[in-house]
Structures are given as structure tokens and as C-alpha cells.
């Protein structure tokens, strides 16, 4: 017999998520901060803690991370990723240095040690592809010249995460630097092997799980994804990376049809993931780290704007486009929460990392989208000495990365 309290709590959570999502869409904001706040409100130290459904939600949340990364992988194929890696590598290096170092520096300053530095470096490094994709679409900038530059930076970050997450997993498991290096070697071998296999045998892999029947296709892709994610986790490569690589391996109509079928599931499970992270974070621990989170948000907002500005300048884009690129990259989101979630589940990392990461993501996700609109304001255009309506009829972004903007998480 099912537990009625579990059903009541799950029903209340899902209903609340629906209401929060409608509110976010109505006011043209990302629902991620609302989901996090909802989790905080009903988590440890919140207004009305959930007890019966917390364990179930944590399992569903893990699937949510896997689906987030699977959908991200479905946006690309191996050839596109390799091409973007070569073209955007310099911008990716600048991005990593400018945005990971502030997080690492703050962790060391707070006495959280090398592991804490690695965790917080990842939290501050990676921008939110879901939030940024929505911002670009909402502002009608799909055809702007700076959009391919923005997307290239995001692609580099996603690829970097495929190598970063295994190292982080090893460190959080207490295996130290040597374990991290072993994890890096394994991750490099796995990623290289999957990219090579996807390049050569992508059609065969897609044909193996492809089906005309939507139900069979959905079950096949989900089954393969969970299987590979589990195996990847078993060899300490990270389940999320395994899911990302499955998405890359699938191509053509199979990837397109699978993405359409999985998108609603991704939205549901990802929303539960953000809520579950909020539930696992003690809201009473946020006020003591709020000032540090706000200071870190200010610093990394500046560094991320500089990242986009320099990347766009290198691509030969004018000053307005450089500012649009930089300000659009500010929000952090899904990856930052994934990283903080791994730290929260570990006994090695400092317990204050999770509340600080939560506050940090909330600040950047709330502030980021309004900042992205600043270059379109009349006073900003006057400051730049440009006409009111700068050339918006720029050539469309490169087709190899253009479909990145279709990926919205949560």
C-alpha cells in the first residue's frame, strides 16, 4: 500500500512547481531561482520541512541531472564539437582563468582547502546554457553577430565539464590528487573514445536505438542513457558525463526526435532536481555566507563580462556586440548546482559550500537576464556613441552551433 503522505507531498511539490513556472514565464524570468527558493522553503530549516518524499525526490533529482546532460549532448554531434573546440579554444582558456580563479581564491581565503577550491572554481566558472539560451531567444538575438561567439564559449565550458567532473568526483571521494589524475586519464580516454566512435559509427549507434514508434524510441534512448550513465559512474567518470556522451553519439533524425520526446521529461526532472537541491540545503546556513556570495557574484560578473567582450573582440565584432556577448554570459545555473550538489553529498567538502553556491546562483540568475538587456537601452547606446538601432540584420550564426539556443534547462 502506498504512503498517502508521500503522495500528498509529491502532489504539492509538483503543483507548486507548476505555479512557480507559470509565474516565471509571466514575468519573463528564469524559473530556476524560484525552484531553489521553493526547495529552501520546505527543506531543512525551512517553513514546513518535507519528510516522506525527500528520499524519493533525491533519486528523481539524480535522473534530472542525467537528462539535463543528455539533452545538452543531443544539441551537438562529434564533428561540430571538435570544430568548435579548435575555433573557440583561446576564448575557453581565458574564460576558465578569469572565472574559475575567483571561486578558487575565495575558497582558499575561507580556509576550505584545495578540494573546496576545486569545487567553488567550477561553480563560478560555468555559465547557465539554459538561462542564456532563453535570454538570446527572448531578446531576438539569434541572428546577431555575437551569438556564435557566446555559443562557442558555452560549448567549450560543456566540454571542459566532461573532464572536470571526474576529477571533482575523485577528490570528493577522498582519493586525493593521484586519484584525480587517474580520473582525468580515464575521462580523457573515455571522451576521446566516444568522440571517435561517434564520428565513425554515429549512424550505426543511432540506428541501433532508433525506431519509428515514439514509445520504443523513448525507451531505447532512456535505457541506453541510464545504462551508460551507470557504467560511467562505476568507473568514476561521472554519470552526468556519460549521459552527455550518449547525446553526442546520437545524430540525425534520431537525435532530433529523441530531443522532442525527452524535453518534457527533462523539464519535469530538472525542476525536481533544483527543488531537491534546495531541500538538501539548510536555509539557516545561507545568511552567514550571503555577503561572501554577493561579493563573489560581483567579481565574477565583471570577469564573465570581460570574457565575452574579449571573445567577441577577437571575432571582429563591434563594441555593442562585445558588450552584448559579455553581459549575456553572466547567469550561472544548472552546472553550478550540479557541482555544489556533488559537494553537498560528500563528507570531504566543507558543508558551507552548498549554501554559498545556492545564494551565488540565485544572485546571478536573477541579475543576469536584466543585465543582458542593458546594451539595448537608449542611454547605453548613447554612451557608446552608436545610433539608436545598430545593425541588427547581421548574418545568422554558424549552423554548426545555432541549435544550441534550443536547449533550455528548467
What is the tens place of the pLDDT at every residue in 179-193? 667 777 877 777 777
Query: What's the rounded Cα separation, in Å, for the pair 79 and 198?
Result: 9
Query: What's the rounded Cα separation, in Å, for the pair 163 and 181?
Result: 11
DSSP classification of residue 248? H
Which pLDDT score is estimated for 107?
A: 95
Which pLDDT score is estimated for 340?
A: 87
Which pLDDT score is estimated for 52?
A: 60
Which pLDDT score is estimated for 258?
A: 93
Averaging pLDDT over each range in 234-238, 272-276, 291-295, which range is the top one?
Answer: 291-295
Residue 349: CB atoms within 10 A of its CB come to 24
C-alpha cell at 294: 554577493
Stronger pLDDT, 345 or 63, i.e. the higher one: 63
Which pLDDT score is estimated for 295?
A: 96
- pLDDT-derived band of residue 410, with 50, 70 and 90 as boundaries? very low
Which pLDDT score is estimated for 390?
A: 45
Query: What's the rounded Cα separation, in Å, for the pair 248 and 267?
Result: 20
DSSP classification of residue 299? H
pTM: 0.73
C-alpha cell at 319: 563594441
* Tens digit of each residue's pLDDT (9 = 90 or more) over 212-240: 899 999 999 999 999 988 887 776 666 77
Burial track 257-281 (b if 16+ CB lie within 10 A, e otherwise): bbbeebbebbbbbbbbbbbbbbbbb
Stronger pLDDT, 293 or 25, i.e. the higher one: 293
Domain definitions of the chain by residue range: 54-386
Which pLDDT score is estimated for 80?
A: 65
Residues 234-261, mean pLDDT to the nearest whole number = 82
* Tens digit of each residue's pLDDT (9 = 90 or more) over 70-87: 887 787 676 766 665 676
Task: Count how many Cα atoms sit within 13 Å of the Cα of residue 99 in the half-sphere of its side chain.
Answer: 30
* Tens digit of each residue's pLDDT (9 = 90 or more) over 33-58: 888 888 888 876 666 666 666 778 88
C-alpha cell at 256: 532530433
Which pLDDT score is estimated for 389?
A: 47
pLDDT > 90: what percent of the chain? 27
Which pLDDT score is estimated for 393?
A: 41
- pLDDT-derived band of residue 305, with 50, 70 and 90 as boundaries? very high
Mean per-residue pLDDT over the chain, rounded: 81
Give CA angle at 186 (185, 189), nearest 5°.
Answer: 85
Stronger pLDDT, 57 or 3, i.e. the higher one: 57
Say how far residue 248 (Cα) sits from the centre of its chain: 16
As its CATH architecture, domain 54-386 has Up-down Bundle (1.20)
Closest CA to 133 of 329, 350, 370: 329
- Scanning 139-175, the segments in alpha helix (DSSP H) are 147-172
Q: Which residues contact 27 (CB under 8 A, 6 or more apart)?
A: none
CA distances from 367 to 55, 123, 186, 294, 332 (A): 32, 17, 38, 11, 10
Which pLDDT score is estimated for 1?
A: 47
* Tens digit of each residue's pLDDT (9 = 90 or more) over 91-133: 888 999 999 999 999 999 999 998 899 999 999 999 987 778 7
Amino acid at each position: 500500500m502506498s504512503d498517502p503522505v508521500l503522495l500528498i507531498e509529491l502532489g504539492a511539490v509538483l503543483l507548486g512547481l507548476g505555479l512557480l513556472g507559470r509565474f516565471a514565464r509571466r514575468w519573463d524570468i528564469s524559473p530556476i531561482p524560484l525552484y531553489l527558493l521553493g526547495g529552501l522553503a520546505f527543506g531543512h530549516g525551512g517553513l514546513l520541512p518535507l519528510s516522506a518524499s525527500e528520499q524519493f525526490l533525491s533519486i528523481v533529482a539524480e535522473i534530472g541531472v542525467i537528462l539535463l546532460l543528455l539533452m545538452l549532448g543531443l544539441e551537438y554531434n562529434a564533428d561540430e564539437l571538435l570544430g568548435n573546440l579548435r575555433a573557440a579554444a583561446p576564448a575557453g582558456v581565458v574564460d576558465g582563468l578569469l572565472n574559475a580563479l575567483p571561486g578558487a581564491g575565495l575558497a582558499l581565503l575561507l580556509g576550505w582547502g584545495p578540494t573546496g577550491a576545486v569545487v567553488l572554481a567550477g561553480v563560478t566558472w560555468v555559465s547557465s546554457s539554459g538561462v542564456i539560451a532563453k535570454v538570446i531567444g527572448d531578446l531576438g538575438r539569434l541572428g546577431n553577430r555575437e551569438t556564435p561567439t557566446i555559443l562557442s564559449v558555452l560549448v567549450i565550458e560543456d566540454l571542459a565539464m566532461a573532464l572536470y567532473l571526474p576529477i571533482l568526483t575523485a577528490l570528493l571521494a577522498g582519493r586525493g590528487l593521484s586519484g584525480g589524475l587517474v580520473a582525468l586519464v580515464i575521462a580523457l580516454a573515455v571522451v576521446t573514445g566516444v568522440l571517435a566512435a561517434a564520428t565513425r559509427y554515429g549512424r550505426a549507434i543511432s540506428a541501433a536505438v532508433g525506431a519509428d514508434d515514439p514509445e520504443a524510441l523513448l525507451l531505447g534512448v532512456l535505457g541506453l542513457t541510464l545504462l551508460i550513465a551507470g557504467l560511467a559512474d562505476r568507473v568514476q567518470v561521472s554519470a552526468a558525463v556519460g549521459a552527455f556522451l550518449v547525446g553526442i553519439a546520437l545524430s540525425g533524425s534520431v537525435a532530433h526526435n529523441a530531443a522532442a520526446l525527452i524535453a518534457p521529461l527533462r523539464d519535469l526532472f530538472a525542476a525536481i532536481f533544483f527543488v531537491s537541491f534546495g531541500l538538501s540545503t539548510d536555509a539557516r546556513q545561507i545568511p552567514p555566507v550571503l555577503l561572501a556570495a554577493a561579493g563573489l557574484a560581483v567579481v565574477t560578473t565583471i570577469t564573465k563580462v570581460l570574457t565575452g567582450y574579449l571573445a567577441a573582440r577577437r571575432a571582429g565584432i563591434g563594441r555593442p556586440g562585445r558588450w552584448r556577448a559579455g553581459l549575456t554570459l553572466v547567469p550561472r545555473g544548472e552546472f553550478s548546482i550540479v557541482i555544489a550538489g556533488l559537494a553537498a553529498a560528500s563528507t570531504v567538502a566543507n558543508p558551507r559550500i552548498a549554501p554559498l553556491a545556492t545564494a551565488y546562483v540565485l544572485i546571478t540568475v536573477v541579475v543576469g537576464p536584466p543585465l543582458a538587456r542593458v546594451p539595448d537601452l537608449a542611454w547605453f547606446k548613447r554612451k557608446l556613441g552608436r545610433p539608436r538601432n545598430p545593425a541588427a540584420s547581421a548574418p545568422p550564426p554558424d549552423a554548426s552551433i545555432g541549435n544550441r539556443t534550443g536547449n533550455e534547462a528548467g
